[in-house]
Amino acid sequence: MTPAVQSLGVVDALPVDPDPRVNRLPRLERLALGAAREALAGQKAPDSLGLVFATGYGGLTATEGFLRSVASRGMAFGSATAFHQSVSHSSAGQLSLLLGIRGPVLTISQRELSGEAALRVGLTLLDRIEHVLVVAADEQTSLLDAAYEVFGRVFRAAEGAAAVLLGPGPGRLRVERCELFSHRASVRRYAPPARLGPRLAESVRKNGRNVFVSIAAPTPAIERAERAALGPEARILEDQPGTARVGFHPSAGLVRFVLAARHLLATPGEAACVLHGLALGGGQSITVLRHDA
């Protein structure tokens, strides 16, 4: 069975909700809930629906609040609510309650490849259940920017959430491949371009002439290497109308997946998109989406 993409959702700003309970949720969960509801398109979650939630760093705002209260007033004054909200899997629990999801619920945290790892787990779950909702979300804080600067990363982190509803084929849009690889590298560096380029170039060659590519491009040097590996024939998805760079954050892989899917659905004829993902420490991912004419 080839998994098909049933529907999509993506948000880059906090959605306004008429329910005051939702507006009291932490920022991370409100982003995730907005994307998940868009992917479900207002439909009630079926009993067979499973949830895979991805986040690289979890509720950073809640984590910062908890640690500041402990540092300034001591452990006895640490906020129990903030601690609960800082745990990465608390968001999946809230989503399952708010959306009425009765199937398996999992949380994936794989740093900069969290979105891709969750997609891989979701595809595996389809062997056991009929539908899987994959949601990825990460928030931006000044604390995260400061941490990246300490580790030598001078870019400003972004934020956003995306959701993909997967189900059985046939479908116009299907996931042909989602693989993750590990290369030897320092925990604070990307793998050398000479190791990253061959898998990217091979994936493009194997997917026909009408292929789009979404490169990871976390740094100018890596972007130059990715474009060199692709050669003159490949079309870069970020250069196409209606798409844009989504910034750097651990859930960006699933955000780019949704943008690529929408781009393919608007493309006449059969086409494929190769999405390239990278993580500090040597991680690499290749995801291939195909749109059947």
Q: Where are the domain boundaries for CATH 3.40.47.10 in the chain? A: 4-167, 173-291
| Residues 51-110 pLDDT 10s | 999 998 887 777 777 777 777 777 766 666 666 666 777 888 888 988 989 899 999 998
pTM comes to 0.88
Alpha-carbon Rg for the chain, nearest whole angstrom, is 19
- Residue 150 near residue 67 (C-beta atoms within 8 A): no
Chain centroid to Cα 90, Å, comes to 18
Per-residue model confidence as pLDDT tens digits over 7-48: 888 887 777 777 777 777 888 888 899 999 999 987 777 778
The CATH number of the structural domain formed by 4-167 is 3.40.47.10
Whole-number Å distance between alpha carbons of 182 and 225: 18
231-237 contacts at long range (C-beta below 8 A, 24 or more positions apart) = 231/201, 233/204, 233/209, 234/204, 235/211, 236/212, 237/212, 237/213, 237/263, 237/273
The beta strands (E) that lie in 55-185 are given as 105-108, 131-138, 160-167, 173-182
* CATH class for the region spanning 173-291: alpha beta
